[in-house]
């Protein structure tokens, strides 16, 4: 282990955990220093500090009691009534027959994919899909067909060549977390219908953000009835924890009977489900935050482009600054830290070779003037390193 850790250090790939303390207006404290937080997934900037009175009102049951643990799996005796209540409300919100809560988005992806396809199945997966999707495919033991990012021609060739009798699942992020690009959902629906496949969409970065009340990209594009499986997390725009799968009744019943990451794990604490419901209700009404988020993202992306940076295919609140080489990316991220900007350097194998980047995420809590100053500081750092002229 020591030798492997030393290798990581030499390759500048050694990771550590750093205390991060959230402050107001999208700022954060790290290493005792105030920084503009351009790495958070708390897209709507919902208030996430409750005082005692608010806590009881938001998280308590009818008797005002807050329950810290579920004491068992949902299938044993861990199914507090709040699960079914919230699942009904959330399914109505999504426009699906049913909904099922999971411990986290990671557990949902791993548990759904491994339940739906097995050894003789085939999963078609965009090569930029999230790691939890990849892990779900590995666990399912299905054949894994990766297609180039949003390459519908290649996907169609793979579907065409697949054994006709095999169970086929196409799975895609709706918003890609390293690029801020959007999945071509309409075209994917067309392909899945044409080739008799099922389609699963991961709304982790679009839930709360897209749609009039934050229903997600599938809903915003009017594709709710055509997408077989939607999943999403409550850990990003909703600022809490846990995840959902939404779809028809048969899907939900099937998962209750087959999904191991639902069956063999303790249910979320009821107070967490209540916190999720509290935040979801706020997020439904947060049209102004959605507008501010879109405005912040557009202004920031434009500022980087005007400086001469390449922001790739970004069309939303995730904005990459493409650098290319690993070393240059690391140097830029260090300069940004010195200038009080917290953003993540992303390198291969997380992204393809030669496309290392700094990944910025915007939130509705950011003040436009802070973002403008940040863009100017990023420009200065880029000039110092010779990345722009």
- 266 token code pair: 């303790």
Catalytic residue among 42, 145, 192, 205: 205
Catalytic residue among 94, 130, 198, 236: 236
- 55 token code pair: 């806590």
Number of Cβ within a 10 Å radius of residue 363:
23
Per rule CB under 6 A, is residue 168 in the interface with ligand PLP? Answer: no
Per rule CB under 6 A, is residue 173 in the interface with ligand PLP? Answer: yes
| Of 253, 252, 201, residue with least CA distance to 231 | 201
Q: Which is nearer to ligand PLP, 70 or 361 (CB)?
A: 361
Number of Cβ within a 10 Å radius of residue 351:
17
Catalytic residue among 40, 174, 177, 235: 177
**Binding residue (CB under 6 A) for ligand PLP from 42, 150, 168, 205:** 205
Per rule CB under 6 A, is residue 177 in the interface with ligand PLP? Answer: yes
CB of 105 to ligand PLP, least distance (A): 2
What values do phi and psi take at 171, rounded to 5? -130, 140
Judged by CB under 6 A, the number of residues near ligand PLP is 14
Per rule CB under 6 A, is residue 114 in the interface with ligand PLP? Answer: no
CB of 361 to ligand PLP, least distance (A): 11
Return left, alpha or beta for 308; rule: phi > 0 is left, psi -120 to 50 is alpha, else beta. left
C-alpha–C-alpha distance, residues 121 and 143, integer Å: 6
In this chain, which stretch among 98-106, 140-148, 192-200, 321-329 interacts with ligand PLP, using CB under 6 A? 98-106
Q: Which is nearer to ligand PLP, 317 or 331 (CB)?
A: 317
Touching ligand PLP, residues 338-367 (CB under 6 A) = none
Contact indicator for 35, 340 with CB cutoff of 8 Å:
yes
CB of 1 to ligand PLP, least distance (A): 26
- For the stretch 17-33, what's the b/e string if a residue is b when 16 or more beta carbons lie within 10 angstroms of its beta carbon? eeeeeeeeebbbebeee
What values do phi and psi take at 207, rounded to 5? -60, 130
Pairing of strands 33-37, 27-30: antiparallel
C-alpha–C-alpha distance, residues 36 and 337, integer Å: 9
What values do phi and psi take at 357, rounded to 5? -155, 165
Question: Is 236 a known active-site residue?
Answer: yes
Question: Is 177 a known active-site residue?
Answer: yes
In DSSP terms, which residues pair with 100 in a beta bridge? 245
Question: Is 94 a known active-site residue?
Answer: no
In this chain, which stretch among 199-207, 212-220, 245-253, 300-308 interacts with ligand PLP, using CB under 6 A? 199-207
CB of 372 to ligand PLP, least distance (A): 28
In this chain, which stretch among 20-28, 104-112, 216-224, 352-360 interacts with ligand PLP, using CB under 6 A? 104-112
CB of 85 to ligand PLP, least distance (A): 21
Per rule CB under 6 A, is residue 109 in the interface with ligand PLP? Answer: yes
Per rule CB under 6 A, is residue 204 in the interface with ligand PLP? Answer: yes
**Binding residue (CB under 6 A) for ligand PLP from 96, 104, 230, 261:** 104
CB of 340 to ligand PLP, least distance (A): 26
**Binding residue (CB under 6 A) for ligand PLP from 243, 321, 341, 346:** 243
| Cα atoms in the 13 Å half-sphere on the side-chain side of 325 | 7
C-alpha–C-alpha distance, residues 152 and 154, integer Å: 5
Task: Name the residue with the smallest CB distance to ligand PLP.
Answer: 105
Per rule CB under 6 A, is residue 276 in the interface with ligand PLP? Answer: no
Per rule CB under 6 A, is residue 106 in the interface with ligand PLP? Answer: yes
- 371 token code pair: 């973002």
Question: Which residue is associated with the tokens 């953003």?
Answer: 343
Per rule CB under 6 A, is residue 206 in the interface with ligand PLP? Answer: no
Alpha helices in the chain (DSSP H): 2-10, 52-59, 81-94, 105-116, 131-140, 152-161, 185-194, 217-220, 249-258, 260-263, 270-284, 287-307, 326-338, 368-384
Q: Which residues are catalytic?
A: 177, 205, 236
Rule CB under 6 A: which residues touch ligand PLP? 104-106, 109, 130, 132, 173, 177, 202, 204-205, 233, 235, 243
């Amino acid at each position: 282990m020591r030798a492997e850790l030393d290798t990581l250090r030499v390759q500048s790939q050694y990771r550590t955990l750093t205390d991060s303390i959230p402050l107001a207006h999208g700022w954060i404290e790290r290493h005792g220093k105030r920084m503009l937080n351009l790495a958070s997934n708390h897209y709507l900037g919902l208030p996430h500090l409750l005082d005692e009175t608010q806590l009881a009102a938001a998280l308590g049951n009818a008797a005002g009691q807050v329950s810290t643990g579920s004491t068992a799996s949902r299938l044993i005796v861990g199914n507090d009534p709040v699960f079914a209540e919230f699942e009904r409300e959330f399914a109505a919100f999504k426009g699906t027959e049913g909904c099922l809560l999971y411990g986290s988005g990671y557990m949902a992806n791993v548990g759904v994919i491994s339940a739906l396809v097995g050894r003789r199945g085939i999963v078609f997966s965009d090569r930029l899909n999230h790691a939890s999707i990849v892990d779900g495919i590995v666990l399912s033991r299905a054949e894994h067909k990766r297609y180039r990012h949003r390459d519908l021609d290649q996907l169609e060739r793979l579907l065409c060549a697949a054994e006709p009798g095999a169970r086929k699942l196409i799975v895609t992020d709706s918003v890609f977390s390293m690029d801020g690009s959007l999945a071509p959902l309409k075209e994917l629906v067309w392909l899945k219908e044409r080739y008799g496949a099922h389609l699963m969409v991961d709304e982790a970065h679009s839930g709360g953000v897209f749609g009039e009340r934050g229903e997600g990209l599938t809903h915003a594009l009017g594709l709710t009835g055509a997408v077989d499986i939607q999943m999403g997390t409550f850990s990003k725009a909703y600022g809490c924890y846990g995840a959902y799968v939404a779809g028809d009744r048969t899907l939900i019943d099937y998962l209750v009977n087959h999904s191991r990451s639902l069956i063999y794990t303790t249910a979320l604490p009821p107070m967490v489900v209540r916190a999720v419901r509290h935040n979801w209700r706020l997020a439904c009404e947060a049209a102004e935050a959605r507008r501010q988020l879109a405005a912040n993202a557009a202004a920031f992306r434009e500022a980087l482009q005007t400086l001469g940076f390449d922001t790739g295919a970004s069309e939303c609140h995730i904005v990459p600054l493409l650098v290319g080489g690993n070393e240059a990316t690391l140097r830029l991220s260090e300069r940004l830290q010195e200038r009080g900007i917290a953003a993540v350097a992303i390198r291969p194998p997380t992204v393809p070779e030669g496309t290392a980047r700094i990944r910025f995420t915007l939130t509705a809590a950011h003040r436009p003037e802070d973002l403008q100053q940040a863009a100017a500081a990023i420009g200065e750092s880029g000039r110092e390193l010779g990345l722009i002229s």
